[in-house]
Amino acid sequence: MDVLDRDVARLWRVNRTIHELVRDRGYKVSDDEINVGLDDFRSQVASGGAIDRRALHFPAEHASDPSQRIFVFFAEEKSVGVKTMGVFLQQLEAQNIGRGIIIYQEKMTSSAHKVIDAMRSQFELEDFYEGALLVNITHHHLVPKHEVLSDEDKKALLLRYRLKENQLPRIQISDPVARYYGMKRGQVCKITRPSETSGRYCSYRICLG
């Protein structure tokens, strides 16, 4: 396998995971987008003998609210700086999309992270390292099922058990599973684990920084 074939196979896996991530957050993603074959993927992104990461960009709208849209952007440069962030933001502005994910090859510079912080009032921006998306962590047998509760379900949970938010166990916003689901501070996730006595056991964690 030459370098190009290896890089295409790597990106193929990353592309599958990011589509699964977006769908698991409630956005419309088809099975065909997730299950694209390696040969078809190669023809889409490397037909000219080199990888064109621009062919991997994609938007998606939320299944329950089409006004909520997300845009996934694959950075071409190995080290993402202010220039790449500018291109990313231009894409979001042009399509009137308020939430975006940038996927980087090697690193995000401190200047790029400052752009993310500076634009928080206008955009919800996230960054993921390609290598972290080679495998979908939620498919690992040691990771139990996580579900992010709606605001209404969170209120019902606290009322049912007569709890205050600070009485719930915590999940850090930097936790890999919390990042996968795009959890925000104050959101609660339901975690379902198998149980030998009751069949399954449910617990809840609140997302905090």
CATH number at residue 70: 3.40.1340.10
What does the pLDDT read at residue 196? 78
What does the pLDDT read at residue 207? 98
Q: Are residue 128 and residue 142 in the same domain, yes or no?
A: no
Task: Show the domain range for 102.
Answer: 3-135
What does the pLDDT read at residue 84? 97
pLDDT along the chain (209 residues), means of 10: 91 98 98 97 91 97 96 97 97 97 97 96 97 97 95 97 95 97 97 86 93
Contact 95, 71 (CB under 8 A): yes
What does the pLDDT read at residue 1? 59
Q: How far apart are CA 193 and CA 136, in angstroms?
A: 18
CATH code where residue 203 lies: 3.90.940.20
Final residue belonging to a domain, choices 78, 107, 135: 135
Q: Tell me which residue has tokens 């291109």.
A: 87
What does the pLDDT read at residue 90? 97
Q: Are residue 129 and residue 149 in the same domain, yes or no?
A: no
Q: Are residue 81 and residue 14 in the same domain, yes or no?
A: yes
Contact 60, 22 (CB under 8 A): yes
Q: Are residue 114 and residue 168 in the same domain, yes or no?
A: no
Final residue belonging to a domain, choices 112, 135, 158: 135
- DSSP symbols for the chain: --HHHHHHHHHHHHHHHHHHHHHHTTB---HHHHS--HHHHHHHH-TTSS--GGGG-EEEEBSS-TT-EEEEEE-SSSEE-HHHHHHHHHHHHHHT--EEEEEESSEE-HHHHHHHHHTTTT-EEEEEEGGGGSS-GGGSTTS-EEEEPPHHHHHHHHHHHT--GGGS-EEETTSHHHHHTT--TT-EEEEEEEETTTEEEEEEEEEE-
Which tokens belong to 91? Answer: 């894409």
Q: Are residue 18 and residue 93 in the same domain, yes or no?
A: yes
Q: Are residue 116 and residue 147 in the same domain, yes or no?
A: no
Domain count for the chain, please give it: 2
| Residue 199 zone, left/alpha/beta (φ > 0; ψ -120 to 50; rest) | left
Final residue belonging to a domain, choices 120, 135, 150: 135
What does the pLDDT read at residue 81? 97
What does the pLDDT read at residue 48? 82
Q: How far apart are CA 133 and CA 72, in angstroms?
A: 13
What does the pLDDT read at residue 49? 84
Cα 175 to chain center, whole Å? Answer: 12
Q: How far apart are CA 107 and CA 105, in angstroms?
A: 6
